[in-house]
Amino acid sequence: MTLLTDNSDVLQRVRHYSASHTQNTMTQPATFLHNIALFANLPERTLQQLATDLTLRYFAQGDTIFHEGDPGEVL
């Protein structure tokens, strides 16, 4: 077991994990969609078609992504 002695080490490990997880997930967009319950039962071909329309967006911690009651513009 490794005892972490400062927060910068923890932050670095979390960023590394997050970056590698995001990269691995988004290199296979259809797999990403398949892991979402809404899309889980769709045929692979349909997932591939939907995957071509995905846009990866990054948000900083604390950013407002949408407000409750805003009309939906995208899924």
Q: What's the total number of domains in the chain?
A: 1
CA 50 to CA 43: how far, in whole Å? 11
Q: Domain for residue 66, yes or no? A: no
The string of pLDDT tens digits covering residues 53-62 is 888 888 899 9
What pLDDT was estimated at residue 28? 83
| pTM of the predicted protein model | 0.47
Q: Domain for residue 74, yes or no? A: no
> Regarding predicted confidence, which is higher, 19 or 67?
67
**Rounded to 5°, angle at Cα 18 from 12 and 23:** 125
Is residue 35 classed as helix, strand or coil in its secondary structure? Answer: coil
Q: Domain for residue 4, yes or no? A: no
Domain membership of residue 45 as a residue range: 23-61
What pLDDT was estimated at residue 8? 66
Identity (one letter) of the amino acid at 21? H
Identity (one letter) of the amino acid at 2? T
| H/E element, 51 | helix 44-51
Q: Domain for residue 38, yes or no? A: yes
Residue 31 CB neighbour total at 10 angstroms: 14
